[in-house]
Structure 1
């Protein structure tokens, strides 16, 4: 029986390079999200791990074993967990952003769409396990 090709080889070479580059953009955004309260970083790190898994297993391993960046990605992969602090910061950031959008005067239909998205994302995050 022949071995099934890995996910790495199911993507064309230009596709792997694009995914690799996007993964590094996501790592950078994830680091920014870790050091600033405005943007959640974990989401970008999870996306980076997914992109590295399809473009560079070496860098996927680097990210998963990184002492500061890896634990949240590993927790997500193992059981869909999001740390409670991350849930609260992300939800608070969305609430603050929504208030800012109201203050700057966005139209009601646009606010309704954004509010629906924020409530849906917050509900999903807050129902995930914390460990």
Structure 2
């Protein structure tokens, strides 16, 4: 239920008209619902906002969904977020989402040495 609420809020926030786009119109809308938990919808607006989502019944009683939404950023570029929402939670993917910096080589080597020592039973007293 929480996943569905989050997704609905994201969709509403994405679709909410901004001041310059107050006259945006829906230019495409497709819907399909088989009443057994399977559904599909897609829409596009005249100002570049779009979303498509497919849903299926989940193994834990939830609705599994996958889809994407797009919107125009202030600089005119198009932002896209692809996502899966299922029993493992909401899993978005986008260039907009910050990614952790990769570990430097010396840190990776320290981790490797520590794991090797752990396997050998070496411990360090504090």
Smaller-chain TM-score range?
A: under 0.3
TM-score (norm. length: structure 1): 0.24
RCO comparison, higher one (Cα < 8 Å, 6+): 1
Task: Decide which structure has greater helix share.
Answer: 1
Larger Rg: 2
TM-score (norm. length: structure 2): 0.25
Task: Decide which structure has greater strand share.
Answer: 2
